[in-house]
Amino acid sequence: MNNSKIVLDHVEGIVLDPSNPPFNNYHAFGQNYIGLKILADAVRESELKVVADDPHAKHVVLAAFSSSTPPVVPCAFNWFSVTLVNYLRLVALVDLMAKNGWKSTALTDPGNRLTIKKHCTDYVKTVVPEIYKWRNKVSAHFAATDPFNDDTLGTLEQSIMNPISYQYPYYYVGLFQWNTQGTSSDLPTWALTETYQRLALRFWPEMKLREPDNGF
């Protein structure tokens, strides 16, 4: 059995020690780790197809609401954001438990509840604030189905549009901002594969996305 420590965050130095884990089962790490790569690969293949099919793709400034966008792409953005937030919260939990010498029984202590929630949420908001907001306003549930006082009408309406835009070389959400009745959406802008590549250096440097033959 391999008991080598697993580096979860190469920047913060957060590690999981299989010989002394904070909880009995940590399969969610492996499942989410692979799942994030599957989602990033699916979107990357769609991006590569745009380049392969359109010799002028490099000159596209903004293409929104295209009927040629595969339906899996907007779904992948939502699945990716939910999975990534879950994954990062778990990384933060390992960090907190290791620092406090906690085992899983500590999770049942009511006195720890707010500390755990704040630590995990703060970590995610520090690492990927734009995806945390997208997850809250679109992916976990559409803002229109659970409106808050600070949600503009533009945000509420755009939450159920799920618009995907293409700007070479990535698919994006949030590049197009909906304006209505004097209000604008404030949903964040991010590209799934660009995000994956950026985070890979910190969290999974051994995982690579396919590159086009001539590079981006």
pLDDT for 35 equals: 97
Q: What is the pLDDT of residues 115-132, one digit of tens each?
A: 999 999 999 999 999 999
| CA-to-CA dists, residue 105 to 58, 92, 115, 117, 163, angstroms | 54, 17, 15, 16, 43
Residue 1's pLDDT band (cuts 50, 70, 90): very low
List the domain range (segments joined by +) for residue 173: 25-203
Note whether residue 89 is domain-resident: yes
Nearest-angstrom CA–CA distance, 44 and 154: 29
Amino acid 39: pLDDT:
98
Mean pLDDT of 51-67: 71
Q: Is residue 210 part of a domain?
A: no
Residue 20 is classified by DSSP as S
Q: Which of the residue ranges 61-65, 77-81, 182-186 would you say has the lowest mean pLDDT?
A: 61-65
pLDDT for the residue numbered 22: 85
Task: Kindly state the average pLDDT of the residues 152-173.
Answer: 90
Mean pLDDT of 64-80: 86
- Say what the pTM is: 0.91
In a domain, 211, yes or no: no
Whether 72 shows a pLDDT value over 90: the answer reads yes
Instruction: Extract the tokens encoding 10.
Output: 């190469």
For residue 175, what pLDDT band results from cuts at 50, 70 and 90?
confident
| DSSP sequence for 155-215 | HHHHTTT--EEEETTEEEESSS--EETTEE--PPPEEHHHHHHHHHHHH-TT------TT-
Torsion angle, alpha carbons of 88, 90, 93, 98, to 10: -100
Q: How confident is the model at residue 144 (pLDDT cuts 50, 70, 90)?
A: very high
Mean pLDDT of the chain: 90
pLDDT band at 87 (very low <50, low <70, confident <90, very high): very high
Inside any domain, residue 60: yes
- Please indicate, yes or no, if residue 1 is contained in any of the structural domains: no
More confident call, 28 vs 129: 129
| Predicted confidence band of residue 180 (pLDDT cuts 50, 70, 90) | confident
Evaluate whether residue 18 is within a structural domain.
Answer: no
For the chain, the distance separating the N- and C-terminal CA atoms, rounded to the nearest angstrom, is 41
Distance CA 160, CA 157 (A): 6
Mean pLDDT of 148-171: 89
Residue 35 lies in a domain: yes
Q: Is the pLDDT of residue 90 over 90?
A: yes
145 DSSP 8-state letter:
G
Please check whether residue 170 lies inside any domain of the structure: yes
**How many domains are contained in the chain?**
1
